Amino acid sequence: MKKQIAVLPGDGIGPEIVQEAVKVLDAVAVKFGHEFTYTYADMGAVAIDKTGQPLPEATLKASLESDAVLFGAIGDPKYDNDPTAKVRPEQGLLAIRKALGLFTNIRPVKTFDALLHQSPLKEERVKGTDFVMYRELTGGIYFGEKTLSEDQNTASDLCEYTRAEIERIAHLAFVAARKRRNILTLIDKANVLESSRLWRRVVTELHQAEYSDVELRFLFVDNAAMQMILAPSQFDVILTSNLFGDIISDEGSVIGGSIGLLPSASVGATHALFEPIHGSFPQGAGKGIANPIAMILSAAMMLTHFDMDKEANAITNAVDLALAQGVCTPEVFPEGSYTTSDVGDFIAKNIA
Ligand code: IPM
Ligand code: MG
Spatial contact of 198 and 161, defined as CB atoms under 8 Å apart = yes
Amino acid at 34: H
Amino acid at 205: E
Give the residue whose CA is nearest to atom 1 of ligand 1: 246
Torsion of CA 265, 14, 130, 126, to 10 degrees: -160
This prediction's pTM: 0.94
248 Cα to the center of ligand 2, angstroms: 9
CA 299 remoteness from chain centre = 11
266 Cα to the center of ligand 2, angstroms: 13
Annotated active-site residue 142? The verdict is yes
- Quick one: pLDDT at residue 249? 92
Domain 109-258, CATH among 3.40.50.1380, 1.10.357.10, 3.30.750.24, 3.40.718.10: 3.40.718.10
Question: For 88-123, what is each residue's pLDDT tens digit?
Answer: 999 999 999 999 999 999 999 988 888 888 899 999
Q: Which atom of ligand 1 approaches the CA of 242 most closely? A: 12
Annotated active-site residue 189? The verdict is yes
Q: Do domains 1-103+268-352 and 109-258 have the same CATH topology?
A: yes
The full set of domain ranges for the chain reads: 1-103+268-352, 109-258
Nearest ligand, CA 105? 1
Give the strand pairing for 183-188 and 237-240: parallel
- Quick one: pLDDT at residue 225? 98
Q: Is the dihedral angle over the CA atoms 276, 280, 286, 289 positive or is it negative?
A: negative
Cα–Cα distance for residue pair 28/312, rounded to 1 Å: 9
- Quick one: pLDDT at residue 256? 85
With H, G, I as helix, E, B as strand and everything else as coil, classify residue 143. coil
Annotated active-site residue 246? The verdict is yes
In Å, how far are 147, 159, 301 from 68, measured between CA atoms?
34, 29, 11
Q: Is the CB of 246 under 6 A from ligand 1?
A: yes
Amino acid at 339: T
Question: For 239-281, what is each residue's pLDDT tens digit?
Answer: 999 999 999 998 998 898 878 899 999 999 999 999 999 999 9
273 Cα to the center of ligand 1, angstroms: 14
Give the residue whose CA is nearest to atom 2 of ligand 1: 246
245 Cα to the center of ligand 2, angstroms: 8
Mutate to test the pocket of ligand 1, among 93, 105, 250, 251 (most ligand atoms within 8 A of CB): 93
Positions of the chain with pLDDT under 50: none
- Quick one: pLDDT at residue 198? 98
Give the residue whose CA is nearest to atom 12 of ligand 1: 246
Give the homologous superfamily in CATH for domain 1-103+268-352: Isopropylmalate Dehydrogenase (3.40.718.10)
Output the furthest CA–CA distance in the chain (Å, rounded): 62
